Amino acid sequence: MTTVMPTLVCADLDRTLIYSRAALRGGAPAREEAPLLCVELYQDRPLSYVTRIAAGRLERLGGTALLVPTTTRTPEQYARVRLPGGPSRYAICANGGRLLVDGVEDADWSARVRARTAECASPDEVFGHLVAVSGDFGIRPRIASELFCYLVADRAVPPAGWITELTGWCAERGWTTSVQGRKVYCLPRALTKSAAAVEVARRTGARALLAAGDSLLDGELLETADAAIRPAHGELAEAGRVSSRIRVTAARGVTAGEEIAGWLLDRALDPALIPATGLWRTLPLGTPSSSP
């Protein structure tokens, strides 16, 4: 009997599959709210949602393909999320820095990530700079998973030039920046979702890799996959990032998540729709497609 290898689906969570109340519209005009399902509680309060239609599609997707949540959240933050269809066998957390297998961190992968990121400036150095330049603007600065730094902005728009200056400072030290909602992230350039996705693909013998995401941190993952989709909102949209290989949703906000789930499900059900042209097939094991 021929063994059919799985279709691997690596999908970002926040503002891609799941949405906070603040992100539900995604910049779209006011409209009648779609029926929602809460998929995350924080301190016993609802925090993140999907539409009921998206929930049904995600449940079917998890039963058809190998769905791998692929997030910048730490493992502790990811543990709060309950996607329809039950827990995934694999999860990629900390922007690729932590690989969970049945909910347990894979120690070998973590050691390999530490070796790669050791070539960049240390998290302590970058954290110290981030705190020094954020002043009263940034609140709750953190070092996450001992790998990267972030803070929450206490206003919608950072001071003029602040992100540009921070981005330049980080780039000189092998780090990159990303702004997602009110959060400002600084990460080692070697810390990528794509490297972890390739690792899962090789471990599982995946025949195809699908991807979805909305931020600059997802860009490499989307370009690495056989086929990918992004919402019409988010960092990639704001940057005007266009690629013939990446589909853009018609919708914004939580209904974009619904559209993304449907697009992924269609290709999981009919792999003939997936072009076998992904860069992930040519990469050395566990190597990001654009090393620092």
Digit-coded pLDDT (tens) for 175-224: 999 988 888 999 999 999 999 999 999 999 999 999 999 999 999 999 99
**Rounded average pLDDT over 165-173:** 97
Residue 175: strand, helix, or coil: strand
* Helix (H) or strand (E) run with residue 162 in it: helix 162-171
- With cut-offs at 50, 70 and 90, classify the pLDDT of residue 6: confident
pLDDT of 81 > 60? The answer is: yes
> Residue 3 pLDDT > 70, yes or no?
no
pLDDT reported for residue 284: 65
Q: d(Cα 245, Cα 23) in Å, to the nearest integer?
A: 26
**pLDDT at 291 > cutoff 50:** no
Helix axes 162-171, 123-134, angle to 10 degrees: 160
- 3-class DSSP state of 176: strand
Higher pLDDT, residue 83 or 286: 83
Pair of tokens at residue 259 = 């559209």
Helix (H, G, I), strand (E, B), or coil: what is residue 285? coil
Please give the mean pLDDT across all residues of the chain.
Answer: 91
**What order do you get walking across the sheet with 175-180 strand by strand?**
138-144, 148-153, 183-188, 175-180
pLDDT band at 2 (very low <50, low <70, confident <90, very high): very low
Residue type, position 270, single letter:
D
Closest CA to 217 of 229, 234, 203, 200: 234
The string of pLDDT tens digits covering residues 102-111 is 999 999 999 9
- Region 117-126: mean pLDDT is 96
Which letter, b or e, does each residue of 236-252 get, where b requires 16 or more Cβ atoms within 10 Å of its Cβ?
A: bbeeebeeeebbebebb
Strand 90-93's sheet: what is its strand order? 90-93, 98-101, 104-105
Query: Which pLDDT score, from 0 to 100, does residue 5 have?
Result: 60
